[in-house]
Structures are given as C-alpha cells and as structure tokens.
C-alpha cells in the first residue's frame, strides 16, 4: 500500500518543499514528462520524487502545473504554499 503523501526538501531555490498527494494522483505522468529527473512512477502507477534538487524552480513549477489533478504541491522555505494557489 502506497503512502498517501510523498515529501521531499530542496536545498536551493525559492521552492524548498515538494509534496505529492499520492491519494489524488491519477497516474497521468505529466510531471514525469516535464521533469523526469525529479519525478518517476512506481509499480502502482503513482508518482514519487527521486531527486528534488535535480532541476530549477521553473522546471519544477511547470511540472506541478502540468498535473491535471494538482497533486504536486510546492512550498517556500517558510512553509507558504506556492502552488497550487488556494
């Protein structure tokens, strides 16, 4: 059984924390297509984070925006949500 959320912390950039809502993930692979160096799919066809620091903020934000169900959440160093906007 997969974890409901997968989190990773980044060392650089404005985006410092990535949270994947695996319960909401539908396996569309959009984030993987945009940033395969950061995201991959597991054997349950759910996304997980392989290397949070592998790309810059712009690519990471594009990957999060590509998710059709907004399952990738991005936060700054103070814990403020950058994406998706509420």
Q: What is the pLDDT of residues 51-73, one digit of tens each?
A: 999 999 999 999 999 999 999 99
Q: Is 5 helix (H, G, I), strand (E, B) or coil?
A: strand
Q: Which two tokens stand for residue 60?
A: 């990471």
DSSP code of 9? E
Q: In 10 A of CB 73, how many CB atoms?
A: 19
- Right CATH for 5-83 from 3.30.830.10, 3.30.1280.10, 3.30.70.20, 3.40.50.920: 3.30.70.20
Peptide bond into 84 cis (omega under 30): yes
| pTM: predicted TM-score of the whole model, two decimal places | 0.92
* Between 3 and 52, residue with greater pLDDT: 52
Q: In 10 A of CB 20, how many CB atoms?
A: 24
């Amino acid at each position: 059984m997969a974890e409901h959320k997968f989190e990773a912390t980044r060392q650089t950039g404005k985006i410092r924390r990535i949270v994947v809502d695996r319960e909401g993930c539908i396996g569309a692979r959009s984030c993987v297509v945009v940033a395969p160096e950061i995201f991959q799919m597991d054997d349950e066809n759910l996304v997980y984070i392989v290397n949070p620091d592998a790309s810059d903020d712009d690519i990471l934000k594009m990957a999060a925006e590509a998710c059709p169900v907004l399952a990738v959440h991005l936060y700054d160093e103070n814990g403020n949500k950058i994406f998706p906007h509420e």
